[in-house]
C-alpha cells in the first residue's frame, strides 16, 4: 500500500497543521519536504500527495515493502481501529503501574529536560505521550491506527499516521525514540530498528518496553494460556480473533531480547542494554517467581523485556 501517484483528489477539508510540525515532516517515500495543498499535503513537485483527516492528522502512511510486514501493519490498523473504544478498559493499566516508564524517561533525559525532541513510535492511546510531555521540547506521535491517534488528540496534537518502516522525518532529526508495547506488533523489528537509527541524532536513544520475553514463554507458556483464557477478550468472533493474532504476531511466542539486542547493534546502535521485568501488578504466581529469583536468578523468570540503546 502507498500514497496515490500523480494527481489525486484529497479530502475537501482545511485542516490546521501547526507550522512547526509541518516544517519537521518529510515525504516518507522520498524524504522531500511537504507543503499544505488542497486540503492535504504534497511534495513541491506535486507527485506525492497525502490526505489530512478532518481533525488535522496527516495520513503519511506508506506500507512496508515486505509482504509479511505489510499484512501485519494492515491487521494492526484494522484491529485497533475496530477496538479503539474498548482499548483503555481492557488493555491500559492503572496509572501507578506506569511509574517505571516515567522513571526510565527521566533517566534518559537526565539534565536535558525541555531541550530534546522525541518520536513516540506506535503511540497507541498515549502511555508514553502522557509521561513524556513534561520532559521533552517536542514530541511526534506516530501510529498506523487513525482511531488510536484520534484517541490521543485531547492529550497531544502533533500526531501522524505513518509506518515505523517509513517514518516521515529527516535523517538525524530526533533525540529519542520510544516504542511502548510496539515490537510484538512488528513482523520483523530489525527493519524498524534501522529506521529508528536513521532518524536519531548522534547520542540519541531508543527505549522499548512491555514486550514479552521468549524465554518466559518457553518455560511458562502453560501458565500464560491459563491466564489468557480467564481474561475478557477484545476479539468477539473467529474472524476477529484471527485478525488480532495477525496484529500481535509474536503474542504466542514472545520475542528473544538477545536477538533484538544483536539486531540493534547491527543497525548501528553503539550500546544496548536488556532490562528484564516482572509485571507491575504481580499476581500470586508472579510473587512465587519473584521469590524463586531471589535464590536462582534467571531471565526466564521475568515476563517482560525492555531495551535501551544509544547511538
Domains in the chain: ranges and CATH: 1-54 (no CATH), 67-310 (3.40.50.150)
- Which pLDDT value is given to residue 298? 95
- Number of helices (H), then strands (E), belonging to the chain: the values are 11, 10
User: Is 234:244 a contact under the CB 8 Å cutoff?
Assistant: yes
What pTM does this model have?
0.93
- Which pLDDT value is given to residue 15? 55
What is the C-alpha to C-alpha distance for residues 183 and 256, in angstroms, rounded to an integer?
Answer: 11
User: Is 51:24 a contact under the CB 8 Å cutoff?
Assistant: no
- Which pLDDT value is given to residue 11? 38
Strand ranges, E, within 113-258: 117-121, 138-143, 159-161, 174-180, 200-212
- Which pLDDT value is given to residue 2? 43
User: Is 181:87 a contact under the CB 8 Å cutoff?
Assistant: no
Count Cβ atoms below 10 Å from residue 26 Cβ, excluding itself.
19
Positions in the chain whose pLDDT score sits under 70 = 1-15
Q: Kindly give, in sequence order, each residue whose CB lies less than 8 Å from that of residue 142, ignoring residues fewer than 6 positions away.
A: 119, 120, 121, 122, 123, 159, 160, 161, 162, 164, 167, 168
The percent of the chain in helix, strand and coil, each rounded to the nearest 5, is 40, 25, 35
Amino acid at each position: 500500500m502507498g500514497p496515490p501517484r500523480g494527481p489525486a483528489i484529497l479530502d475537501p477539508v482545511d485542516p490546521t497543521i501547526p507550522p512547526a510540525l509541518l516544517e519537521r515532516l518529510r515525504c516518507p517515500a522520498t524524504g522531500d519536504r511537504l507543503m499544505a495543498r488542497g486540503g492535504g499535503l504534497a511534495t513541491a513537485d506535486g507527485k506525492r500527495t497525502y490526505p489530512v483527516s478532518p481533525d488535522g492528522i496527516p495520513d503519511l502512511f506508506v506500507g512496508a515493502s515486505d509482504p509479511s510486514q505489510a499484512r501485519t501493519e494492515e491487521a494492526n490498523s484494522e484491529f485497533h481501529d475496530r477496538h479503539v473504544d474498548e482499548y483503555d478498559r481492557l488493555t491500559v493499566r492503572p496509572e501507578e503501574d506506569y511509574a517505571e516508564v516515567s522513571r526510565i524517561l527521566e533517566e534518559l533525559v537526565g539534565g536535558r529536560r525541555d531541550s530534546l525532541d522525541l518520536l513516540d513510535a506506535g503511540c497507541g492511546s498515549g502511555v508514553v505521550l502522557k509521561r513524556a510531555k513534561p520532559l521533552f521540547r517536542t514530541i511526534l506521535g506516530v501510529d498506523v491506527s487513525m482511531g488510536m491517534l484520534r484517541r490521543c488528540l485531547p492529550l497531544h496534537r502533533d500526531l501522524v499516521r505513518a509506518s515505523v518502516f517509513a517514518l516521515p522525518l529527516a535523517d538525524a532529526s530526533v533525540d529519542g525514540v520510544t516504542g511502548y508495547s510496539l515490537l510484538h506488533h512488528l513482523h520483523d523489528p530489525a527493519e524498524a530498528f534501522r529506521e529508528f537509527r536513521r532518524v536519531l541524532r548522534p547520542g540519541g536513544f531508543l527505549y522499548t518496553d512491555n514486550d514479552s520475553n521468549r524465554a518466559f514463554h518457553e518455560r511458562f507458556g502453560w501458565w500464560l494460556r491459563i491466564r489468557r483464557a480467564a481474561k475478557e477478550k477484545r476479539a468477539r468472533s473467529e474472524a476477529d480473533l484471527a485478525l488480532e493474532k495477525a496484529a500481535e504476531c509474536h503474542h504466542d511466542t514472545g520475542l528473544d531480547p538477545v536477538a533484538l539486542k544483536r539486531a540493534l547493534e547491527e543497525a548501528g546502535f553503539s550500546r544496548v542494554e536488556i532490562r528484564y521485568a516482572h509485571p507491575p501488578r504481580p499476581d500470586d504466581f508472579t510473587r512465587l517467581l519473584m521469590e524463586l529469583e531471589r535464590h536462582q536468578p534467571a531471565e526466564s523468570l521475568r515476563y517482560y523485556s525492555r531495551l535501551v540503546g544509544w547511538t
